[in-house]
Chains A and B, each alone.
Chain A
């Protein structure tokens, strides 16, 4: 299992990936974010959760510094710069004991919420993924 971000031909990176990136750039490669740590940008604890979701649900937006990957892949970029060295992601936290600015790492979970308990068709998407654990 990987946590794949997508790099585009202008050097920008998004998680999740899209058929076209910012400014219409085409995807050129993926970066496995599970190999990196990230910094908490903001977080919340949600107490009114939908069917099939744990309660309370600790969530965060985090930012990965992937400049190391950017250096390795610089030859595949049409444009480089600071924008290509970091990427944000959203996900569950392993704990609510967290503060903005904390460093976290992705930890694999085989079922983030119960498939089929909510409105979305269970077969339409994956339900495993990564929670963020404070270091």
Chain B
């Protein structure tokens, strides 16, 4: 299979986009991505849309075809990718497959979600609809899984509650320099630790917001990438994996098997290991998830991610900057867009377009988590040599 390049990227403003709906958001990111890559819509052969629930959120289905029409990209082949919160990462995998296999020489991926017109309870319920009936009838939500897991982690590994709060503080600090982030304000540890309880021991600032937004990537064979861009990134490793649908059936509540397996696959394919990664975007839908992914991907030993955070290891100027974009925590989490936006951040870091967020990076990783670790995609990219 041929090497696959990313030659363009875009991201809309994330946040509350009043009066704009899924088709508007997808089209905005799609048009900007075409312009960024210097690609005509006519040249797009495959068009993928990562989206979890436009039917449930606003009663609009068939969004890939709608986007193809809005961009005048017909007769491109279109497909919707739904893998809950990891729809974006799964979209990168599908787009990569389409180019690597030779089926398409120009593939655009657009991820998006419109959520903020729903109440928090309604949006939480749409997301919780992924749970098993035995979980759903008890009112189990994704935030409650986070509370259950966070308590277990803190008690088992004797980790201080403050260490989770420091993840939120770091990611909000990074989000200040991301003009597309939903929150561009710093928060201090005291504010995090005194915010209202959402799922004990986790509080409001341990959770990502509900968000509208869209993001896009343009992929093509590396052999033609230079025709479009002087600087580009190459996907060197990518893999996806699942874990149990019923979360409490996992042998160890602090190990996400999908993270471990997809990470292993992406490392093996790329030839890189955890020590080679210069920058990472992890799925911090909840602060505890940043710990679990750091450990699952080999950035820390089990039960010790909190120590790396306490040491400043994951700060923008640390040994391994994590979530330079602000992460889902600060940037926002429009479900289908989030994994694509992770890819946008790593792409921008590798081609030197991250502005004030820029770090010194040749190899980057993003890990997109669906459900509570139910489905995971890990992608490794490198700057073109």
Residues B171-229 near A (CB distance < 8 A):
196-202
Chain B nearest Cβ from A124, distance in angstroms: 8
**Chain A interface: which of B104-112, B243-251, B265-273, B276-284?**
B243-251
> Which of B125, B139, B253 has the largest number of chain A CB atoms within 10 A?
B139
Closest to B56 in A: A119
In the bound assembly, the distance between CA atoms of A125 and B139 in angstroms comes to 13
B318 beta carbon closer than 8 Å to chain A = no
Beyond A88-B248, A125-B133, is A44–B144 a contact (Cβ under 8 Å)? Answer: yes
Tell whether, in the assembled complex, residue A16 and residue B196 are in contact, meaning their CB atoms are under 8 Å apart. no
In the bound assembly, the distance between CA atoms of A42 and B254 in angstroms comes to 12
Contact of B200 among A14, A45, A53, A113 (CB under 8 A): A45
Tell whether, in the assembled complex, residue A47 and residue B199 are in contact, meaning their CB atoms are under 8 Å apart. yes
**Chain B interface: which of A24-32, A54-62, A65-73?**
A54-62
B242 beta carbon closer than 8 Å to chain A = no
B39 beta carbon closer than 8 Å to chain A = no
Tell whether, in the assembled complex, residue A112 and residue B138 are in contact, meaning their CB atoms are under 8 Å apart. yes
Beyond A42-B253, A46-B144, is A100–B137 a contact (Cβ under 8 Å)? Answer: no
Tell whether, in the assembled complex, residue A125 and residue B137 are in contact, meaning their CB atoms are under 8 Å apart. yes
Tell whether, in the assembled complex, residue A42 and residue B136 are in contact, meaning their CB atoms are under 8 Å apart. no
Tell whether, in the assembled complex, residue B148 and residue A48 are in contact, meaning their CB atoms are under 8 Å apart. no
Tell whether, in the assembled complex, residue B129 and residue A119 are in contact, meaning their CB atoms are under 8 Å apart. yes
In the bound assembly, the distance between CA atoms of A53 and B135 in angstroms comes to 12
A108 beta carbon closer than 8 Å to chain B = no
Q: How many residues of A contact B (CB 8 A)?
A: 37
Q: Find chain B residues with CB under 8 A from A124 CB.
A: 133
Beyond A91-B138, A113-B139, A119-B126, is A48–B253 a contact (Cβ under 8 Å)? Answer: no
Q: Find chain B residues with CB under 8 A from A100 CB.
A: 151-152, 155
Beyond A44-B151, A61-B248, is A112–B137 a contact (Cβ under 8 Å)? Answer: yes
In the bound assembly, the distance between CA atoms of A120 and B135 in angstroms comes to 12
Beyond A14-B249, A49-B141, A129-B138, is A44–B133 a contact (Cβ under 8 Å)? Answer: no
Q: Find chain B residues with CB under 8 A from A46 CB.
A: 139, 141, 143-144, 147, 198-200
Closest to A16 in B: B134
A51 beta carbon closer than 8 Å to chain B = yes
Residues B128-180 near A (CB distance < 8 A):
128-129, 132-141, 143-144, 147-149, 151-152, 155
Q: Find chain A residues with CB under 8 A from B247 CB.
A: 90
Contact of A50 among B56, B121, B155, B196 (CB under 8 A): B121
Contact of A90 among B121, B135, B155, B200 (CB under 8 A): B135
Tell whether, in the assembled complex, residue A45 and residue B125 are in contact, meaning their CB atoms are under 8 Å apart. no
Tell whether, in the assembled complex, residue B136 and residue A120 are in contact, meaning their CB atoms are under 8 Å apart. yes
A85 beta carbon closer than 8 Å to chain B = no
Beyond A88-B249, A125-B133, is A42–B152 a contact (Cβ under 8 Å)? Answer: yes
In the bound assembly, the distance between CA atoms of A132 and B247 in angstroms comes to 18
Chain B nearest Cβ from A86, distance in angstroms: 11
Tell whether, in the assembled complex, residue B140 and residue A90 are in contact, meaning their CB atoms are under 8 Å apart. yes
Closest to A111 in B: B137
Tell whether, in the assembled complex, residue B246 and residue A16 are in contact, meaning their CB atoms are under 8 Å apart. yes
B122 beta carbon closer than 8 Å to chain A = yes
B124 beta carbon closer than 8 Å to chain A = yes
A46-B143, A49-B124, A59-B144 known; 12 new pairs, CB 8 Å cut-off, are A44-B200, A44-B202, A45-B197, A50-B128, A51-B121, A53-B139, A59-B148, A61-B253, A88-B248, A88-B249, A113-B137, A125-B137
A and B contact pairs by CB, cutoff 8 A, 5 listed: A41-B253, A42-B149, A51-B121, A53-B139, A118-B125
A residues whose Cβ falls under 8 Å from a Cβ of B: 14-16, 41-54, 57, 59-61, 88-92, 100, 112-113, 118-120, 124-127, 129
B residues whose Cβ falls under 8 Å from a Cβ of A: 56, 120-122, 124-126, 128-129, 132-141, 143-144, 147-149, 151-152, 155, 196-202, 246-249, 253
